[in-house]
Amino acid sequence: MKLLYLYRFKPTEATEKTKKLVDIVSKDNEVKEYRLYEDNPDYDKVVDMIWEADKVISWW
Amino acid sequence: MASYKFMFLIPNKMYISDALRSTLGVAVENHYGFGAVLYQKLPPVTEYMKENLEWTKDMEGDVFCVVDTMDEEAKKYNVDEVGLTPITLEELGKQILEADYVVAYGLPYQSRELPSMCADSRTVDTAKTE
C-alpha cells in the first residue's frame, strides 16, 4: 500500500509513542513523507502526492 | 452509497469530546466510525458523552483507549469507568491500515497562513494555540 505521511509540526521527543505507531503502520508498505513545517512548502506537490497515495495520514 | 471506515486519532485532550461527536457523526451517516484516544485521561464524562459512546457502539463503531500510551490512572478511568475498548499500539496500527480514512483530530492550528486556493484561509493567533 502507498502511504503518504504529512507532518505539520516538527516531531519532538514527546512524540516517541507516535513514532512507534508510525513504524508499525509503515511496516511492509511504501511510505512517502512531506514536512509542511519546513519553509515554503510546495502545496501543488502535496496535492499530487495525495492523489498518488492509497492513504494519507497527518501525524503530529 | 458506499460505507467507509473512518479512524479518528485523538491525541489532544482538548478535542476529545468533539472527536467523539465526529466519530458518531460518520456512523449516523452509514459509515463505520472509530476513535482512538491516545495519551490522555478523558475529561469527566457527561451523560451526553456517554450517550454518544453507546450510540457509536450501537452503530457498529467503537472508541478505543490506546493503553500503552498512558499511565495506569488514565487507563483505569478510560477503560473501567468510561467503557472505552482497550487496544495496544500494535493493534491500532492494524486498525489504521484497515481504515479507509484516517483523521488525526484536533491538532493545533498551523502557524502558517494557508494558500489562497484553500477554502479555510483564516489567520491564526499562534500565541493562543501553541
ipTM of the complex model: 0.85
Distance from C-alpha of B90 to C-alpha of A47, rounded to nearest angstrom: 30
Predicted confidence at residue B85, as pLDDT, reads: 97
Higher pLDDT, B107 or B1: B1
C-alpha grid cell, residue B114: 494557508
Of A4, A2, A1, the C-alpha closest to A50 is A4
Q: What is the DSSP letter of A2?
A: E
Interface of A with B (CB under 8 A): 1, 8-9, 17-18, 20-21, 24-25, 27, 29, 36, 41, 43, 55-60
A20:B117 CB<8 A: no
A35 dihedral zone (left: phi>0; alpha: psi -120 to 50; beta): beta
Report the residue of chain A nearest B95, measured CA to CA.
Answer: A25
The full set of domain ranges for chain B reads 5-129
Average pLDDT, chain B: 85
User: What's the whole-number mean pLDDT along residues B38-56?
Assistant: 90
Inform me whether the pLDDT recorded for B84 exceeds 90: yes
Please give the tally of structural domains in chain A.
1
Q: How confident is the model at residue B117 (pLDDT cuts 50, 70, 90)?
A: low
B93:A24 CB<8 A: yes
B110:A8 CB<8 A: yes
Predicted confidence at residue B130, as pLDDT, reads: 42
- For chain B, give the percent of residues with pLDDT over 90: 62
**Chains A–B, number of C-beta pairs less than 8 Å apart:** 45
Predicted confidence at residue B125, as pLDDT, reads: 45
- Fold observed for domain B5-129: Hypothetical Protein Ychn; Chain: A, (3.40.1260)
A17:B38 CB<8 A: yes
- The number of helices, as runs of H, and strands, as runs of E, in chain B is 5, 5
Predicted confidence at residue A10, as pLDDT, reads: 78
Inform me whether the pLDDT recorded for B123 exceeds 90: no
Chain A residues touching residue B110 (CB < 8 angstroms): 8-9, 36
Report the residue of chain A nearest B110, measured CA to CA.
Answer: A8
- For the stretch A12-43, pLDDT in tens is 655 778 889 999 999 999 999 999 988 889 99
Predicted confidence at residue A22, as pLDDT, reads: 92
Distance from C-alpha of B126 to C-alpha of B110, rounded to nearest angstrom: 8
Contact present, B66 and B38 (Cβ < 8 Å): yes
Residues 6+ apart with CB under 8 A from A17: B38, B39, B68, B69, B89
Q: How confident is the model at residue B106 (pLDDT cuts 50, 70, 90)?
A: confident
B14 Cα to chain A: minimum distance (Å): 15
Residues 6+ apart with CB under 8 A from B10: B16, B19, B20, B35, B36, B37, B38, B40, B105, B106
User: Residue A44 belongs to what domain range?
Assistant: 2-59
Predicted confidence at residue B19, as pLDDT, reads: 92
At residue B86, the 3 state secondary structure works out as: strand
